[in-house]
Amino acid sequence: MTSLDDLPIRDDLRGRSPYGAPQKSVPVALNVNENTHPIPEDVAHDIVARVAAAILRLNRYPDREFTELREALAGYLGHGLAPEQIWAANGSNEVLQHLLQAFGGPGRRALGFDPTYSMYGLLASGTGTEWIAAPRDDDFELSPETAVAAVLEHDPDLVLLCAPNNPTGTPLGLDTIRAVADAARGIVIVDEAYFEFAEPGTPSALTLLEGRPRLVVSRTMSKAFAFAGARVGYLAGDPATIDALRLVRLPYHLSALTQAAALGALAHSGEMLAMVDEIRGQRERISAELVRLGFAPHRSGSNFVLFGGVDDPHAVFEALLERGILIRELGIPGHLRVTAGTEAETTAFLEAIAVFAPVGA
């Protein structure tokens, strides 16, 4: 049998593992931070009608500049953003890949703060960019001083700031983002994939874009918008930065079906986002209950909770899976991560995890 090692694969890809969050068909899937609420049926019908209309025109290539979608995304984001400041792709993973293709590459470095979203390192390796994982402060926080010290030490071409951070849930202050943007000579990416789950009133890094042409803020429709299966991510930044992304994207990368579906979802953004408050409530419930059980949940501004105090994470992961509950094992010693789902899913998780409550709780 041929193995990877037998192939003339790039040397820098040898020995690497692909992104591999388990995809299992279980009753309670709380492992990849999706919005577990289905999209409202009336919205689904409108999306179907729009996709049906697009199908009649599939003989032609789609709008390469996804003009209408950029207008709708600019409208959704607000902050006075214009369509020329918006980019979109098949999930924010692809948005990030475009950034690494345009601004990273052989001989260049991307800096992030571990533990952070595992795709950053994989996207770096896929584009031949050196990946540097600098440490965080205690409790996975990231102060302006710690972040700026790493920027000055490594002089990166790109900095990836995950706000709030996956897999820890840690919110990131604008003071840190501002300090990094001022200290870095390269592109500073603020990944706000989970921004909509932050405490109401939390300012977005979008408020920092003005006058900072190397700062970009990426978002996704996969999480709060309950649209992960459609694959739509986007960013806001300077029009010149977006022109750079046009150099590396494939022509017509956003299919006409994707554009039609995303426009349908954005036309109903209020309904699509209606469950966000409820999910935030379940997140708070998980954290409070885990504390009561004697676990150590970390501060979260997202739709998931990372918690410590787990004696044997792998055994707990397996035991929950046997009960049809899939959560996430990340290789952080003593820790597991769970997505805040519906009330019933949260109840199922909390009942199952209670069996493993630290002794003495």
Size of the site for ligand PMP (CB under 6 A): 13
3-state secondary structure of 134: strand
Position 117 contacts ligand PMP (CB under 6 A): yes
Stretch touching ligand PMP by CB under 6 A, among 88-96, 180-188, 262-270, 346-354? 88-96
The residues in 6-35 that bind ligand PMP, with binding defined as CB under 6 A, are 33
Position 233 contacts ligand PMP (CB under 6 A): yes
CA distance 122 to 343: 34
The residues in 33-62 that bind ligand PMP, with binding defined as CB under 6 A, are 33
Cβ distance 233 to 69 under 8 Å? no
Cβ distance 34 to 222 under 8 Å? yes
Q: In angstroms, what is the minimal distance from the CB of 228 to ligand PMP? A: 6
Q: In angstroms, what is the minimal distance from the CB of 6 to ligand PMP? A: 31
Q: In the 8-state DSSP scheme, what is residue 328?
A: B
Q: In angstroms, what is the minimal distance from the CB of 1 to ligand PMP? A: 32
Taking CB under 6 A as the criterion, the residue among 220, 300, 303, 346 binding ligand PMP is: 220
CA distance 89 to 97: 10
Position 93 contacts ligand PMP (CB under 6 A): yes
* CB nearer ligand PMP, residue 127 or residue 293: 127
3-state secondary structure of 94: helix
Q: In angstroms, what is the minimal distance from the CB of 196 to ligand PMP? A: 13
3-state secondary structure of 261: helix
* CB nearer ligand PMP, residue 303 or residue 346: 303
* CB nearer ligand PMP, residue 159 or residue 293: 159
Phi, psi for residue 184 in degrees, rounded to 5: -85, 145
Q: Closest Cα to residue 16, out of 173, 123, 100, 88?
A: 123
Hey, CA dihedral for 85, 276, 227, 338, is it positive or negative?
Answer: positive
* CB nearer ligand PMP, residue 253 or residue 323: 253
Taking CB under 6 A as the criterion, the residue among 191, 238, 329, 345 binding ligand PMP is: 191
Position 346 contacts ligand PMP (CB under 6 A): no
CA distance 275 to 60: 37
**Contact partners, residue 118, CB within 8 Å, separation at least 6:** 19
Q: With left for phi above 0 and alpha for psi between -120 and 50, is residue 300 left, alpha or beta?
A: beta
Q: In angstroms, what is the minimal distance from the CB of 302 to ligand PMP? A: 8
Q: Which amino acid is at 20?
A: G
* CB nearer ligand PMP, residue 262 or residue 275: 262
Binding site for ligand PMP (CB under 6 A): 33, 91-93, 117, 162, 166, 191, 193, 220, 222, 228, 233
